[in-house]
Structures are given as structure tokens and as C-alpha cells.
Amino acid sequence: MRRKQIVQPSDPAAVATVVMRLYVAGGAPNSVQAIANLEAICQQHLKGNYQLEIVDVFEQPLRALADGVIVTPSLTKLSPLPAAQVVGNLSDQSKVLLALGLQGKTP
């Protein structure tokens, strides 16, 4: 299987499902950390109302290049617009929340 995907069912009561793509480098430390950090943020702030696709750049490097990814881990918010990108292991939660448009919203 080339593409990794986690799809959380969206909450019909919520207005907009956040669609994200996280590019990782196999089981490299920052990549593992980024997945864990993002899952914690989603758990706390999105409560299942999100779709997250995890793409391993060792498996799909051309796709990552086509999407303009230069380094990994790299998180891209695809919708709702505006699109946004965060690079790194996502340990800076406020930066991730800002990119996801969640800053200032209570969990």
C-alpha cells in the first residue's frame, strides 16, 4: 500500500471538517513525534472532525515534490481555506493551531 490514510468520521454537528496532509520520513524521530503531536492536537481541539492523510516521502517522494514539500515532517492544511503549512515535529502547538485556524478557540 503506497498511501497512508487515517480518516476520522466527521461530526455532522460541526461546520467545517479540517482536511490535512502530513508528510513524514518513515519512522524517523521527528516524523514519529509529529504524528504523535498532531494526533494529540486533533484529539483535543478537533474532536474527530478532521481528515488526516499521512504520506511517507520514502514511499511517495514524487507526490511530495509535486505538492511543493521540501523537508519533512511537513503538515499541510488543505481545507477550509486558506491553506497553510507547518514544518517540523509540530511540538509548537500554538503554531499548529494558528495554521489550522484554531487559535483562540476553546477545545
Partner 1 sequence: MTTTRPVSKAESAHPEAEVAFAAFIRRLAHDAATLRAIKSGKVDAILDPASGRAILLPEAREALRRGAAPANQILATLPREEYQRLLAAGLEPVTLALGEVLHEPGELIRQIYFPNESLLVSLVTRIQNHGALEIALVGSEGMVGLPVAQGIGTASVRAVAQGTGTALRMEAARFCEALGTCLALQRALHRYTHALIAQITQTAACNRFHQVEARLARWLLMASDRLQSNLIRFTHEWLADLLGVRRVGVTVAASALQQQRLIQYSRGNITILDREGLKASACECYQKIKDIFDCA
Q: Does residue 6 interact with partner 1 by CB under 8 A? A: yes
- To partner 1, the closest distance from the beta carbon of 60 in angstroms equals 9
CA distance 102 to 82: 13
CA distance 74 to 20: 10
Per-residue burial over 65-75, b if 16 or more Cβ lie within 10 Å, else e, is eeeebeebbbb
Encoded one letter per residue, x for contact with partner 1 by CB under 8 A and - for no contact, window 67-96 reads --xxxxxx------------xxx-x-----
- To partner 1, the closest distance from the beta carbon of 56 in angstroms equals 5
Handedness of CA 13, 19, 25, 29 (dihedral sign): negative
Summarize as ranges the residues that interact with partner 1 (CB under 8 A): 1, 4-6, 24-32, 35-36, 39, 43, 47-48, 54, 56-59, 61-62, 64-65, 69-74, 87-89, 91
